Structure 1
Amino acid sequence: MNELLSVVVPVFNEREVLPTFHSRVMAVLESLSTSMTVQLLYVDDGSTDGSSDWLQSQMGEDASLGVLRLSRNFGKEAAMSAGFDHAEGDAVIVIDADLQDPPELIPTLIEHWREGYDVVYATRESREGEQWFKRKSAALFYRVMDRLSDVPIPRDTGDFRLLSRRAVDALAKLREQHRYMKGLYAWIGYPQKAVSYARDARSLGRSKWSYWRLWNLALEGITSFSAAPLKLATWFGLFTSLMSFGYGLFFLLRTLFLGNPVPGYPSLIVIILFLGGVQLVCLGIIGEYLARTYNESKGRQLYFVMDYRPCGGLHPRDAHSDNPAVTDGS
């Protein structure tokens, strides 16, 4: 049976880099189409910079190209989930359109998939074009996640990876609202293998990941795959309670033996502020988990589709066709 490969590309305001990315990824897929059927599915996550118009213009030129447009910007995690839901391949590759992850690595991922691995993920050896603080904070985050998570999550690994059909089907059963895909990839299990590569700098356009969005993503990851912050809040509360009890006992004994001097207002204020701060931090941690429980209880859809043009597929017999037929879809 001929193998089918689906490549899923989440897109949000990447008009500047899309032509270059499309040219490079199609060159790779055409080289693969001599031995397997390939499909390229773009997931437009509510772009407003003309990315949607460019993708629509390309559909008439390539039968292997499909476009899935979401009704608004739902976020990258939801866009990737939408792509997995609509990908038909025996193997599915997800890759960003910013060209920091090289499409030329795709054949290597496929080789390891054919060896029997269900998830083949690309691990960064270096991160070119990024500020020192971002590189160090990212490295620290991955190491913290590795320690806190209930399942081992690969370090320095993004979303660029290949998943087998059974891995994609397993992900489709996980419909939680607060999605940290890097954790979900690890949680489903199955044989997994790392492939190292040097990450390139973004060639065109600007990153959509501000420090605020990265911080929120970090919170998603920690709260989705670890209850350690809640346990930390419990132990921190117990520790401060013991310290407060000991401090109170000290003042009791000092009053009994030395009297009750009036001075002590500054130390009292410091203690009150310290305990108040600890309480607020612990309440904030509990609030983060409670908010996620509240959102999950609503049972909302992960995304809504504006329109969908499915992939026709570039078959081995079409690999050298100048004008492959376009299959209409809805």
Structure 2
Amino acid sequence: MISIVVPAYNEEKAIPLFFNEIEKVSQKIGLEFEYIFVNDGSKDNTLQVLKSLHQDHQNVHYIDFSRNFGKEAALLAGLEQSKGDFVAVMDADLQDPPELLEEMYSLLLTGEYDVVGTRRVTRDGEPAIRSFFARLFYLMINKISSTEMIDGARDFRLMTRQVVASILELKEYNRFSKGIFSWVGYKTKYLEYKNRQRVAGETSWSFWGLLKYSIEGIINFSNAPLQIATYSGILSSLAAVIFIIVIVIRTIVYGDPVSGWPSLVSIVLLVGGMQLFALGIIGQYIGKIYLETKKRPSYIIKEMK
């Protein structure tokens, strides 16, 4: 059996289209499919659409959160409830090509791979600034983190039950699935495809939302920002020593002490800004520790069928 885990936030228009497309693929593969839709606090009629699908199809299940907990929580909930021998993670907007499932399943059957993922090779239709920062993120994270993340890799992947079990062993509250998928390892094959547009609805990801998400990934999988704060402090101290030496030498040679408040204010602002920058980085890590120690659940289920 293949379990299809689908996080859904305001996807009332896309879900019926998605279900019909996956059903076509399931008939080609010839296996039983289990659908697990996770309603992440949608504000439209997503829940009603899921209930209707559940009534008409016994293999369709849904999880309804008490509020919006985010995509990471929805993925976790879906994986925990999945029962299939193979588990796929997909978005409901059909930007993840359903027809690739057949090839993904065939590759897993060879026994050579444990995971078959997908990777976008183009970003057609995406705003240029978003594409630029996406590439910049992958460039940075692969430089500062020991966990490799593939540029353009999507959450859309088909995994064996063993891989899913390993992912679920990671109990952290602050989750970044792209990093977690890579961190657990296993032999992975990536299928490339060109970017697709949504079939219906609008994306819930804004530029600032994606920027915040990328910062979460950097903090979760690298301590480089802490090292940056340390190096900034060292450089600031060295610069201060150099300035002091220059002032002393100039006073001895020219008998004219450096005067003027602009230079003094500039130095104070520079040092103060670097201190605040370092404190901000440390604060981000402390905040993560604070959330982890609270031991709050990643999500709360209001209804599940």
| Residue of structure 2 in register with 1:220 after alignment | 216
| Residue of structure 1 in register with 2:77 after alignment | 82
| Residue of structure 2 in register with 1:165 after alignment | 161
> Are 2:17 and 1:16 equivalent residues in the alignment?
no
| Residue of structure 2 in register with 1:324 after alignment | none
| Residue of structure 1 in register with 2:281 after alignment | 285
- Per-residue deviation, 1:139: 1.4
- Summarize deviations over 1:264-297 as a string: whole Å, max 9, x none: 3211111111111111111111111110011111
Contact 2:247 2:258 in 1 (8 A): no
| Residue of structure 1 in register with 2:240 after alignment | 244
How is 1:231-310 mapped onto 2 (pairs within 5 angstroms)?
Answer: 231-261=227-257, 263-309=259-305
| Residue of structure 2 in register with 1:318 after alignment | none
Contact 1:68 1:305 in 2 (8 A): yes
Separation in structure 2 between the aligned mates of residue 258 and residue 125 of structure 1, nearest angstrom: 63
Separation in structure 1 between the aligned mates of residue 26 and residue 106 of structure 2, nearest angstrom: 14
- Summarize deviations over 1:249-272 as a string: whole Å, max 9, x none: 111222233224463321111111
| Residue of structure 2 in register with 1:131 after alignment | 127
Contact 2:250 2:257 in 1 (8 A): no
Comparing 84-93 with 114-123, greater Cα deviation is found at: 114-123
Separation in structure 2 between the aligned mates of residue 264 and residue 258 of structure 1, nearest angstrom: 16
- Summarize deviations over 1:275-326 as a string: whole Å, max 9, x none: 11111111111111110011111111111111211xxxxxxxxxxxxxxxxx
Separation in structure 2 between the aligned mates of residue 53 and residue 237 of structure 1, nearest angstrom: 55
| Residue of structure 2 in register with 1:44 after alignment | 39
Contact 1:129 1:202 in 2 (8 A): no
- Summarize deviations over 1:55-100 as a string: whole Å, max 9, x none: 1011121122111112211100110000000000111000001111
- Per-residue deviation, 1:12: 0.5
Supply the AA of the counterpart residue of 1:251.
Answer: I
Separation in structure 2 between the aligned mates of residue 304 and residue 76 of structure 1, nearest angstrom: 13
| Residue of structure 1 in register with 2:182 after alignment | 186
Supply the AA of the counterpart residue of 2:106.
Answer: E
| Residue of structure 2 in register with 1:323 after alignment | none
Contact 2:251 2:258 in 1 (8 A): no
Q: Which residue, 65, 68, 93 being the options, matches 2:60?
A: 65
Query: Which contiguous aligned blocks of 4+ residues in structure 1 show a shift greater than 3 angstroms?
Result: none
Separation in structure 1 between the aligned mates of residue 115 and residue 255 of structure 2, nearest angstrom: 71
Of structures 1 and 2, the one scoring higher in RCO (CA 8 A, sep 6+) is 1
Contact 1:44 1:52 in 2 (8 A): yes
Seen in structure 2, the aligned counterparts of structure 1 residues 245 and 262 have a Cα distance that, compared at 3 Å, is: closer
Contact 1:175 1:302 in 2 (8 A): no
Q: TM-score, normalised by structure 2?
A: 0.96
| Residue of structure 1 in register with 2:138 after alignment | 142
Q: TM-score, normalised by structure 1?
A: 0.89
| Residue of structure 2 in register with 1:110 after alignment | 105
Separation in structure 2 between the aligned mates of residue 248 and residue 261 of structure 1, nearest angstrom: 11
Separation in structure 1 between the aligned mates of residue 223 and residue 192 of structure 2, nearest angstrom: 31
Supply the AA of the counterpart residue of 2:182.
Answer: A
Runs of 5+ consecutive residues of structure 1 not aligned to the other structure: 310-330
Task: Please state whether the residue corresponding to 2:246 is helix, strand or coil.
Answer: helix
Supply the AA of the counterpart residue of 1:163.
Answer: M
| Residue of structure 1 in register with 2:198 after alignment | 202
- Per-residue deviation, 1:216: 1.3
Contact 1:127 1:201 in 2 (8 A): no
Contact 1:146 1:155 in 2 (8 A): no
Contact 2:6 2:92 in 1 (8 A): yes
> How many residues of Structure 1 are paired with residues of Structure 2 in the alignment?
304
How is 1:84-103 mapped onto 2 (pairs within 5 angstroms)?
Answer: 84-103=79-98
Contact 2:247 2:257 in 1 (8 A): no
